[in-house]
Structure 1
Amino acid sequence: MKKRRAYSRFAKEAGMLLGKEIQYERKIKNWSEQNLAERAGISRTTLQKIEAGDMTVALGLVFETAAVLGIPLFVEEDPSLTKSIRQTSEKLALLPKRIRSKNRKVKDDF
Structure 2
Amino acid sequence: MAKRTVSLRPHVQDALAVWGQLIRRGRLDRAWTAEDLAARANVSEQTVYSAEAGNRGTAVGTMMDLADLVGVPIFGVEDRAELAIRRQRGEEMLALLPSRVRRPKGGSDDDDF
TM-score (norm 2): 0.83
Deviation at 1:96, TM superposition (A): 1.0
Segments of structure 1 that go 5 or more residues without pairing to the other structure are: none
Partner residue, 2:48: 47
Paired with 1:79 and 1:86, the residues of 2 have a C-alpha distance of 13
Question: Which structure's CA Rg is the greater one?
Answer: 1
Paired with 2:99 and 2:35, the residues of 1 have a C-alpha distance of 46
For residues 49-94 of structure 1, give each alpha carbon's deviation from its aligned partner in whole angstroms, at most 9, with x where no partner exists: 1000001111111111111112111143423411111221122122
For residues 3-39 of structure 1, give each alpha carbon's deviation from its aligned partner in whole angstroms, at most 9, with x where no partner exists: 1121111111111001000000111111011111111
Tell me whether 75-84 or 23-32 shows the greater mean CA deviation.
75-84
- Aligned pairs for 1:61-72 within 5 A: 61-72=62-73
Partner residue, 2:93: 91
The amino acid across from 2:66 in the alignment is T
TM-score (norm 1): 0.85
Segments of structure 2 that go 5 or more residues without pairing to the other structure are: 108-113
Paired with 2:92 and 2:6, the residues of 1 have a C-alpha distance of 33
- Aligned pairs for 1:1-110 within 5 A: 1-80=2-81, 81-102=83-104, 104-105=105-106
- Runs of 4+ aligned residues of structure 1 deviating over 6 Å after TM superposition are none
Paired with 1:11 and 1:95, the residues of 2 have a C-alpha distance of 28
The amino acid across from 1:45 in the alignment is Q
Tell me whether 80-89 or 13-22 shows the greater mean CA deviation.
80-89
Q: CA RMSD for the aligned pairs?
A: 1.6
What count of residue pairs does the alignment treat as equivalent? Answer: 105
